[in-house]
Amino acid sequence: MALSLPYIAGMTWGWTGIRGTWDDAEADRSMQLMKDRLAVNWTAITFAALQDHPQATVIRYQESPTVTDSEIKHAIIQAQQLGLKVILKPVVNCADGTWRAHINFFDVDVPCEPKWSDWFASYTEFMVHYAKLAQEMNVEMLCIGCEMVQTDRRASEWRALITEVRKHYSGLITYNCDKYQEGNVTWWDAVDIISSSGYYPIDQWEQQLDRMEGVISQYNKPFFFMEAGCPSREGSPYLPNDWGLQGAPSEQSQQQFYEAMFSACEQRSWVRGFLLWDWPSHLYEESQAKDNDDYCMFGKAAEGTVRSYYTHKTMEEAEV
């Protein structure tokens, strides 16, 4: 029998998790505004730890700039006091700026070269540390990886990691695969919930949802978008994953993307929600919203679009 997942009307909070920015008055204000402005019922408390480069095998999660355990606990408590359910989402990034999707090693071990076994040993230590924290703090869900495209093929290592995590954490487990990669993960049966990044071009949502439905229906598991969003700049709705795309600030472009995404997903009952991208711990001044071209929709037109849709979905769910 498939797990029943209440609708997730959520927002990602706190990225990238810079030490010293999560337990002050600005951070508390940010989370309160996120709840008030967007009518969210979930948040993904999300932060990054660093490895030096894509072939490094040590993840330095206890070092600056990564937020401390104390800061993470503070953020979780704040979310819980606001009545939000929490997904804890530890992410690994490369200090040299390479996207984590390119973390990769030889499939066959070669002496004197970095190895998958070394990397997964460090990554498992990293994830188990936060699994224990999530258990201590009664967090509802743990995301064990984000957009790790080159690692996706290492099914046996991921299964072993999940087995180890479950020794320390009794809540729900998901993995956030990257856009277009839903069909390349062969170990979805090992997690409780399937999730992916929904950065699909504004005119391709129906096509991509058709493709995804064929994949997800094989596993009898709930699905939601662990990430989805669009910068508020011209051109971004057609390439929403490109945070460096050149274009003038445009609230309307961002709003149009959200309208198209919500409209397409409204017809798909198997899409059980979103953790939208993203809401920082320290917000820009609301008076600067029209000139801000990033993903956050604080004070922008899309803020009302999200609030309206989330209110509709949670009321719809309450009536069932």
Q: What is the pLDDT of residue 4?
A: 87
Q: Is the pLDDT of residue 1 over 80?
A: no
Q: What is the pTM of this model?
A: 0.98
Q: What is the pLDDT of residue 173?
A: 98
pLDDT in tens, 161-190: 999 999 999 999 999 999 999 999 999 999
What is the percentage of the chain residues whose pLDDT exceeds 70? 99
* pLDDT band, residue 302 (cuts 50/70/90): very high
pLDDT in tens, 41-81: 999 999 999 999 999 999 999 999 999 999 999 999 999 99
Residue 262 lies in a domain: no
Q: Is the pLDDT of residue 22 over 70?
A: yes
Residue 157 lies in a domain: yes
Which structural domain range is residue 169 located in?
Answer: 8-228+271-281+300-319
Single-letter amino acid, residue 228: A
Q: Is the pLDDT of residue 201 over 60?
A: yes
pLDDT in tens, 136-167: 999 999 999 999 999 999 999 999 999 999 99
pLDDT in tens, 240-295: 999 999 999 999 999 999 999 999 999 999 999 999 999 999 999 999 999 999 99
- Angle of helix 25-38 relative to helix 301-319, nearest 10 degrees, comes to 60
- 94 forms beta bridges with 51
Nearest to 66 by CA among 149, 130, 148, 147: 130
Q: What is the pLDDT of residue 317?
A: 86
Structure tokens that stand for 134 in this block? 């999530």
Structure tokens that stand for 68 in this block? 């401390």
Single-letter amino acid, residue 271: V
Residue 266 lies in a domain: no
Residue 287 lies in a domain: no
Residue 146 lies in a domain: yes
Q: What is the pLDDT of residue 318?
A: 84
By the 10 Å C-beta count (0-12 exposed, 13-18 middle, 19+ buried), 5 is classed as: middle
pLDDT in tens, 211-222: 999 999 999 999
Single-letter amino acid, residue 29: R
Residue 57 lies in a domain: yes
By the 10 Å C-beta count (0-12 exposed, 13-18 middle, 19+ buried), 119 is classed as: buried
Q: Is the pLDDT of residue 127 over 60?
A: yes
Tell me what the pLDDT averaged over the chain comes to: 97
Residue 97 lies in a domain: yes
Q: Please give the Cα distance from 136 to 159 (Å, whole number).
A: 23
What is the domain count for the chain? Answer: 1
Please say whether the beta carbons of 58 and 51 come within 8 A. Answer: yes
pLDDT (average), residues 213-238? 97
Residue 250 lies in a domain: no
307: domain CATH number?
A: 3.20.20.80
Q: What is the pLDDT of residue 319?
A: 82
